[in-house]
Amino acid sequence: MEFTKMHGLGNDFVVIYGEKELPSDAAELAIKWCNRFFGIGADGLVYILPSEKADFQMRIINSDGTEAEQCGNAIRCVAKYVYDHGYIDREQITIETIGAGVQPVGLTVEDGKVSKVRVDMGAPVLDGLKIPTTIDQSPVVDQPIEAGRSGFRFTAVSMGNPHCVIYVEDAVHFDLASWGPKLEAHPFFPKKINVEFATVKDREHIDMRVWERGAGPTLACGTGACATLVSSVLNGLTERSAWVRLKGGDLFIEWNEEDNHVYMTGPAAFVFTGKIIE
């Protein structure tokens, strides 16, 4: 089994191309191969598969074996992979995801290689029950939540997968390990949730750190950056476009007023290729 290690701003993946469908043991393989001590090491296992609706289909299995509905960093990696390997020669392509449907992707190509990827992430879901949360209101903004003996306030957004955005004084140094697991599995969130801790620096720059459902702390989260921008607009904190500063780098996020879609622009990179020998 050949694989390619890739990352989007440090959010890293084991990418597999050539399978016709998702293997029945994909969960077990993700747990094994994503292990950073006994495997390849990654936040998730990504399969690039055929699609009847788009140019390609992406399926992503988190490092704990659960499947993610969508992943903004992974979709940029998939786009770069298929173009740079010559599986498609267009700079406008489509990629199918199980959570957000078919997503249009635009490629910036320099010297024959993809340098930047802009993804139409679709319209954010703001209805509390559809995100899903247990809160029957739309939107869910500045909602109080208790974790342990502490209280926070969150805004909920789905970008094909669920997010809970919490504003803190210093996101860069926030204690993710203490609060991420408690909030991820809070009773408000029936399918668990990705948790973003954000600090708005000005109306066009946001610092954000993330605890990802099924993966824990990661260096970046594309859908989380999108959810953070949407949340910041809903709370009146930023413009409809802003730079979201993640631990692994920056993403430019736009929430277009005309079509209500969120657009994410950022890089993807190859790390190495290899062969798995069972």
Binding residues: 11, 62, 72-73, 161, 194, 212-213, 222-223
In terms of Cα–Cα distance, which of 199, 184, 195 is closest to 157? 195
Q: What is the largest CA-CA distance in the chain?
A: 54
Residue 23, classed as helix, strand or coil, is: coil
Residues in the chain: 278
Give the count of beta carbons closer than 10 Å to the beta carbon of residue 167: 21
Active site residue 164: no
Q: Which residue numbers belong to the known binding site for substrate?
A: 11, 62, 72-73, 161, 194, 212-213, 222-223
Q: How many angstroms separate the CA atoms of 212 and 55, rounded?
A: 28
Residue 138, classed as helix, strand or coil, is: coil
Give the count of beta carbons closer than 10 Å to the beta carbon of residue 23: 16
Catalytic residue selected from 34, 71, 164, 226? 71
Catalytic residue selected from 34, 77, 164, 221? 221
Strand spans (E) along 37-100: 44-49, 56-62, 67-68, 92-97
Residues 6+ apart with CB under 8 A from 258: none
Environment class of residue 98 by beta-carbon count within 10 Å: exposed (0-12), middle (13-18) or buried (19+)? middle
Residue 176, classed as helix, strand or coil, is: helix
Helix axes 222-234, 72-84, angle to 10 degrees: 130
Both tokens of residue 109? 């190509």
Active site residue 221: yes
Catalytic amino acids? 71, 221
